Copies of this chain bind each other. A is one copy, B any other.
Amino acid sequence: MKNSKLYKGSLNTIILKLLDEKGKMYGYEITQKVKELTRGGVKITEGALYPALHKLEAEGLLEVEVAMVDNRLRKYYKLTTQGEKETINRLAELEDFIRSMQQLVKPKWEIN
């Protein structure tokens, strides 16, 4: 991820969330989708993404399907059954985290 310094720790959950919605995606597609959704605010680096995908696969949360498109390699990832369950938990955790962060940055004069 570029130009951010923040972010850390939630990449895995974001990957799971996107796969849960799209069904299957390949690495490069994920980087583009994140860039699009955040209007360029979040840029996932390959150095972060690919190891993360491999780790999630090793944990049994993702499964991979290789394809050739336009003479270029693509590795489509999708959630396993276990991955679907984990996505629910991790997403809830991330949402809690976001709520906490909002509480912390909220100006004090704001009405609760």
Chain A interfacial positions (CB closer than 8 Å to B): 4-10, 13-14, 17-18, 21, 34, 37-38, 41-42, 91, 93-105, 107-108
Contacts and interface: CB of A to CB of B under 8 A. Distances in A.
Given A6-B93, A8-B9, A9-B6, A101 B98 contact: yes
B100 A105 contact: no
A52 B34 CA distance: 30
Given A9-B7, A94-B6, A17 B100 contact: no
30 contacts: A4-B9, A4-B97, A5-B9, A6-B9, A6-B10, A6-B13, A6-B93, A6-B97, A7-B8, A7-B9, A7-B97, A8-B9, A13-B105, A14-B104, A14-B105, A17-B105, A21-B108, A34-B104, A37-B103, A38-B100, A41-B96, A41-B100, A42-B97, A42-B100, A42-B104, A91-B105, A94-B101, A98-B98, A98-B102, A98-B105
- By Cβ-Cβ distance, the 9 closest A-B pairs, closest first, are A8-B8, A38-B100, A41-B100, A6-B9, A6-B97, A8-B9, A37-B103, A42-B100, A21-B108
